[in-house]
Structures are given as structure tokens and as C-alpha cells.
């Protein structure tokens, strides 16, 4: 356990020495100094951007800073894709409920109005570590009806589709 400021480049560089992969919640920002990430081979970013974009009225005002931070994090990670491969997990509204109780919905836009347990999204982020894309992968997920028996196979399928899209 290490305590420090993730916005302090020397601290971050020291902390990440020897680290191959990073999972980051979108509430943190430490991608501003790419040199601090030297040696990191994969970034997994948990993003709530779709939830923030889908909010309106007073909720949109309250979440505007979180939305800006999520946009900035995603943009920074994507801009460094030529140096560090990334996986962005765009989750539905996170819930303090027990995981593994429901299936999933991976359809585009499902995360904007959907919900997902924190346990499930943590599990998905860890599973993402086992499948490193060549450049980048964005996955949208909320709870739904789909069951997953082999996460590695599913991530590899998504990576293959993402690679084909990037070639076009």
C-alpha cells in the first residue's frame, strides 16, 4: 500500500515502476503524464461517460464535472493508444448490489440507461486484463439477459472486431 498524489509525476513514475497493467476508475485522473506510465502495457479504464451524457435537468448540472473528467480520461487514454493499448469499460449506472445475479447487455447504448453492480463491473475490469488489444477497445455494458461462459473468448472476439474496424 502506497499513499501519495497521483497528479505528482515523480510519485506516479515510482509507483508504476514494474507495473504491466493499470485499472483506473473514471473518478481518478493520472493519464496526463504519459511518461509516468513507462512500462505499462495495458490500461483498463472504467468509464461512466454514457451515464453522465444521458442525464438531464438538475442531475446534469450536478454531474457536469464528472462528465468532463470522464471525457478527459477517455480522450487521454485514446490519444496514447499508439503507445499503450487500452480497454475502456463504459458501464451503466453503478449499483451497490450483489454481483453475478443478472446477465449482461453489451448492445450499443445499453449503458446510458442501464444499471450494473459494482461487483460485476470490477469482475469485468479484471477479466479485461487477460485480453490486451493491439490499440484500443471500448465495451459498453449494463445488466441484461446475456450470460457469459468464457470471458476471454468474448474479449478476444471484441478485440478482433475492433482491429478490423480500425483497419477500415
Say what the pLDDT of residue 56 is. 57
Buried (b) or exposed (e) across 8-44, using 16+ Cβ within 10 A? eeebbeeebeeeebbbbebeeebbeeeebbeebebbb
Tell me: pLDDT of 31 over 70.
Answer: no
Cα–Cα dist 113/54, whole Å: 7
Q: For the chain, what's the residue count?
A: 168
Q: Of 15-24, 56-65, 115-124, 130-139, which range is least confident? A: 56-65
Highest mean pLDDT among 5-9, 40-44, 56-60, 64-68: 40-44
Residue percentage of the chain with pLDDT more than 90: 33
CA angle 32, 82, 74 (to 5 degrees): 45
91: left (phi over 0), alpha (psi -120 to 50) or beta: beta
Amino acid at each position: 500500500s502506497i499513499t501519495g498524489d497521483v497528479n505528482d509525476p515523480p510519485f506516479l513514475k515510482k509507483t508504476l515502476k514494474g507495473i504491466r497493467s493499470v485499472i483506473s476508475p473514471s473518478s481518478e485522473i493520472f493519464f496526463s503524464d504519459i511518461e509516468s506510465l513507462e512500462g505499462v502495457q495495458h490500461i483498463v479504464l472504467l468509464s461512466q461517460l454514457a451515464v453522465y451524457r444521458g442525464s438531464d435537468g438538475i442531475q446534469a448540472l450536478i454531474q457536469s464535472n464528472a462528465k468532463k473528467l470522464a471525457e478527459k480520461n477517455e480522450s487521454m487514454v485514446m490519444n496514447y493508444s499508439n503507445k499503450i493499448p487500452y480497454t475502456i469499460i463504459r458501464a451503466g449506472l453503478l449499483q451497490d448490489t450483489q454481483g453475478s445475479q443478472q446477465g449482461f447487455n453489451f448492445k450499443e447504448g445499453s449503458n446510458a440507461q442501464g444499471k450494473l453492480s459494482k461487483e460485476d463491473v470490477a469482475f469485468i475490469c479484471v477479466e479485461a486484463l487477460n485480453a490486451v488489444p493491439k490499440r484500443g477497445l471500448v465495451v459498453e455494458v449494463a445488466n441484461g439477459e446475456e450470460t457469459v461462459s468464457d470471458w476471454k473468448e468474448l474479449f478476444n472476439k471484441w478485440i478482433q472486431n475492433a482491429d478490423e474496424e480500425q483497419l477500415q
